[in-house]
A and B are shown apart, each in its own frame.
Chain A
Amino acid sequence: MKVFLQRFNVIMHKTTFQSYVVFVLTFTTVLATGCQQQSSPYFGTVKPRHGPQEIWINNSSEPEWLDPGRCSDSTGGEIIWNTFEGLVQAHPATLKPLPAIATHWDISDDGRVYRFYLRPSFWSDGHPLTADDFVFALRRLVDPQTGSKYASNGFIFEKGLAISRGEAAVNSLGVRALDSHTLEIELVDPLPYFLNFLSFYSFMPIPQHLFQNLQERGIDQDLWTRPEHVVCNGAFQMTDWQFRQHMTFEKNIKYWDADSVKLDRVRVAMVESSTTAMNMYVAGEFDWPGGSTSLPAEFMDHLESYKDFHSHPYLGVYFYWINTTKPPLDDPLVRRALSLAIDRDSLVKHVTRGGQIGSSDLVPDGLAGYEGLHLPVYDPAEARRLLAEAGYPAGQGLPEVTLSFNTSEGHKQVAEAIQAMWQQELGIAVELENQEWKVFLANAEQMNFQISRMGWIGDYADPYTFLELLTSDCGNNHSNWSSKTYDALLEQANQHNDPEERLTILRKAEAFALAEQPLIPLYVYTRTQLIKPYVRGIWGNHQDRHPWKYMWIDESFEPGEENSESVNTSRKAIQVHK
């Protein structure tokens, strides 16, 4: 060791400081050159690292609940949709309701009572599934004892709201088993979107017999979704759950439609960082980083050129709430001026960069045949005129306005861009204030803000999921704006049984509300996805639902082969209708 050190020392002593610098620089250059991207049409490896009957995906974070009655987050929803099956299922491309556990149904003339006829089917433990399992699940959803954050989804059922308030008995819910395979559901209003909404994860059946079994064995019933206990009726069944690492699912052979399920195994990891998930995709550790993983915005320009990159519109709107009681924003003219001064096209092109669609409408296009209002997305001249009319020509004399957002690089960039636009177009200096998430939520709840960022993801494909936000008694309405006319219009629309007529009324309501501008819509979300070219059976749809049951690995895929142009990566037509 000593001799070696001495010899090396002699060599190094001869080396001048300059050559040392040259050495370090050369080494760094070699390293950097080695790191340059090789030209491939695909982002990362295109050879599956597992057998053909398996897929590796990401589900971004540890879900709060895998219990359909309690789940309220998309990561839990993703698992529930693939391990449970409700009365209807959503078509993987169009999201139209298709028969699932119910083979067919009747609807009463007033559109309020649905009668579902269930197919004979089984739970994964072989126990027959009956209409009582649905009754049990839906009563449990609204029962205040359950403490479900999504209990409000059950308020569409007769007596749902009263039960959750403890004002009615749980068994008075408008969901009844007429016999073991006939279920009757009575709704409060004739909701035209009911069948679409019914495929939502809150409405899955729950194995009543498992609860009894756990109770007899003295096991905490809250733990029923753990792999050692869980009994399900969907395409896959959980076999392993490593907390905050990964879950493993195997095909459920008792599933009524098991013949159409192609994969034997699904490995779901929980990787929160979008950059880490992207790295794992490049290395082939993910075939699909999953519906709920967004791609890092700074990579967007780079990723767009790859063939395995896909994007599609998503049922979500990014907007700013305005507290309409605090001056100067109590004046609709000022609110409209602020909205018209925002160059939304520039915002989505230069700031958000994920292919979002700039929009001044609250309801995105294409929901159940609803035609959007297509309000002007940018009109600075009109904005200046409105502001002058409100008594603040060129922004002079306008009291201070603060824009709050929850701490995030993305929200900050959007807020800064809009701050600059308002300064430039209207001469208004707006203060920006970022707040930690829970503080932000507390301030929103207490209406302690002037302008506040919000995003809203629709739960079902109907304009009502967005328009409901502005009703007077909606707990999510953070504008302090309420209008009897607006409430009456929505109520009138809900009572209407004719879909066309109903949409016309809803359109009128949206136009009425946006003329008052209690919120400033900015853009419609998009989902960006990386999907390995050998993965088939994933469709882009606006609710980002991608059932694993249709997915498969195409072993015959060769790199260089053209992939289809959109997220529709199915090369063979998949028989969806049974």
Chain B
Amino acid sequence: MIRLLLRRLLELVPTVLVIVVASFALVRLAPGSPFSSEKEIPAEIRQKLEAKYGFDKPLPEQFIRYIGNLLKGDLGLSTKYPQRTVNEIIANGFPVSLTLAAVALLWSLLVGITAGIIGAIRQNTVWDYTAMTAALVGISVPSFVLGPLLVLVVSLRLHMLPPAGWGDWHHVILPGLTLGTIYAGSIARLMRGGMLDVVRSDFIRTARAKGVTEWVIVWRHMFPTAILPVVSYLGPAIASMLTGSVVVEKIFNVPGIGPYFVDAAFNRDYFLVMGIVLLYAFFLLLLNLVVDVLYGFLDPRVDVS
């Protein structure tokens, strides 16, 4: 087990390196510069600005410097927010996105798993149709429709929660529900599929024959096997929840790191783009590893070592 972990962690190094090189090259290939604006900046001033960030040096030299700083844990300076480092910006926004992700994850698991199980054990009944219609709606309705609808009803009509902002617990509910619902739909369908796969297995028939109660069959015997597709799905899903959602964070003005994926690229904020890409890559790789390890615990057929 430990050997596997070590091997997998070592494998992360070349993957991350490829990501760094590719994103560094891509972001520099894009036309335009962080300092281009509608109003002309005098050439001398522009040179000073470029020198401040080291953009006046040849690209290979800049890359080596970036890698050097990266190894020291320094992600560089932002050009859009010149008084802040990328480390500071991520440290500011990441806990926010994390809180939002936690609420969204809880909501999506609660709703998704419940709906999936109900759909499977009451297959082809109104229960199943309702749960799966809801799941289909959850998957199909984009967050830029669901978010404003929730704001309209919950905030502007019922005056129950603030329409946007960040600060205390009631700011997190609407964006959490909006973000979570997208995932809840997929989880429900995967869970139902997983349950239906095992419901006719021999070991379930054996358990029934032994007179085990339905409750125990569902939770002890079916659930651990049926949840496996959901677990594989959750790896990348959690990574993308953790790194925030561009749309949800914009609609609810949540100061997380989601919008940087788009804005930093548009602003040619080179170091911020790199920082965000690296963060996302790191979580994606890490969570995929966690998923693989979890498989070993949940499914006796998988030998992780």
Contact = CB atoms under 8 A, between A and B. Distances in A.
Interface of A: 1-2, 5, 8-9, 12-13, 15, 20, 31, 34-35, 44, 62, 64-65, 70, 72, 144-145, 147-152, 164-166, 222-223, 225-226, 242-245, 269-273, 275-276, 279-280, 282-283, 285, 436-439, 441-443, 445, 454-455, 474-476
Contacts of A147: 45, 48-49, 52
Q: Which 3 A-B pairs have the closest CB atoms?
A: A438-B32, A475-B40, A279-B163
B162 A283 contact: yes
B251 interface: yes
Nearest to B263: A272
Contacts of A475: 40, 42
Interface stretch (B15-23, B79-87, B100-108, B277-285): B79-87
B265 to A, nearest CB: 9
Contact of B159 (A35, A144, A283, A439): A283
B41 interface: yes
B166 A245 contact: yes
Interface string B135-163: 00000000000001001110111010011
11 contacts: A12-B127, A35-B157, A64-B82, A147-B48, A223-B83, A242-B255, A243-B92, A283-B156, A438-B30, A438-B267, A443-B31
Interface in B166-192: 166-167
B36 interface: yes
Contacts of B166: 245
A466 B129 CA distance: 64
A465 B59 CA distance: 39
A70 B165 CA distance: 29
B122 interface: yes
Given A276-B164, A279-B163, A438-B32, A34 B153 contact: yes
Contact of A276 (B31, B130, B152, B252): B252
Contacts of A280: 162-165, 253
Contacts of B159: 283
Contacts of A165: 42, 44
Contacts of A13: 125-126
B33 interface: yes
Interface in B202-235: 214-215
Nearest to B161: A283
A438 B126 contact: no
Contacts of A62: 81
A255 B250 CA distance: 37
Contacts of A243: 81, 84, 89, 92, 255
B93 interface: yes
B163 A222 contact: no
Given A244-B92, A285-B162, A441-B38, A144 B45 contact: yes
Contacts of B157: 34-35
B215 A2 contact: yes
A165 B46 CA distance: 11
Contacts of A242: 255
Given A441-B36, A442-B31, A442-B33, A144 B44 contact: yes
A164 B155 CA distance: 52
Nearest to B36: A441
A467 to B, nearest CB: 16
B178 to A, nearest CB: 13
B37 interface: yes
B266 interface: yes
A44 B49 CA distance: 45
Given A2-B215, A147-B52, A276-B164, A441 B83 contact: no
Interface residues of B, number: 57
B39 interface: yes
Given A145-B48, A443-B31, 6 more contacts: A5-B122, A31-B153, A273-B251, A436-B266, A441-B38, A454-B38
A64 B157 CA distance: 36
B105 to A, nearest CB: 23
Contacts of B37: 72, 149, 441
A9 B250 contact: no
A369 B89 CA distance: 47
A283 B160 CA distance: 10
A441 B40 CA distance: 10
A31 B52 CA distance: 56
Nearest to B34: A438
A442 to B, nearest CB: 4
A476 B82 contact: no
A20 B128 CA distance: 13
Given A31-B153, A442-B33, A282 B126 contact: no
A490 B283 CA distance: 59
B286 to A, nearest CB: 26
B49 A438 contact: no
B253 A12 contact: no
A474 B35 CA distance: 18
Contacts of B148: 275
B79 to A, nearest CB: 9
Contacts of B35: 149
A454 B38 CA distance: 8
B49 A269 contact: no
B214 A2 contact: yes
B39 A276 contact: no
A12 B155 contact: no
Given A13-B125, A147-B52, A269-B165, A222 B266 contact: no
Given A280-B163, A282-B163, A445 B36 contact: yes
A272 B40 contact: no
B31 to A, nearest CB: 5
Nearest to B266: A437
A184 B58 CA distance: 45
A74 to B, nearest CB: 12
A244 B165 CA distance: 10
Contact of B122 (A9, A225, A276, A285): A9
Nearest to A62: B81
A35 B36 contact: no
B255 A441 contact: no
A276 B248 CA distance: 11
A165 B45 CA distance: 8
Contact of B253 (A150, A273, A455): A273
Given A20-B126, A147-B49, A439-B32, A276 B162 contact: no
Contact of B255 (A44, A148, A225, A244): A244
* Most chain B Cβ neighbours within 10 Å, of A62, A149, A223, A443: A149
A34 B153 CA distance: 8
Contact of B164 (A8, A271, A439): A271
Given A244-B92, A269-B165, A476-B40, A279 B155 contact: yes
Contacts of B126: 9, 12-13, 15, 20
Interface string B68-97: 000000000000111110000100110000
A164 B142 CA distance: 51
A70 B84 CA distance: 15
Contacts of B83: 65, 222-223, 225-226
B163 A276 contact: yes
A272 B253 contact: yes
Nearest to A438: B32
A162 to B, nearest CB: 11
B87 to A, nearest CB: 13
A443 to B, nearest CB: 8
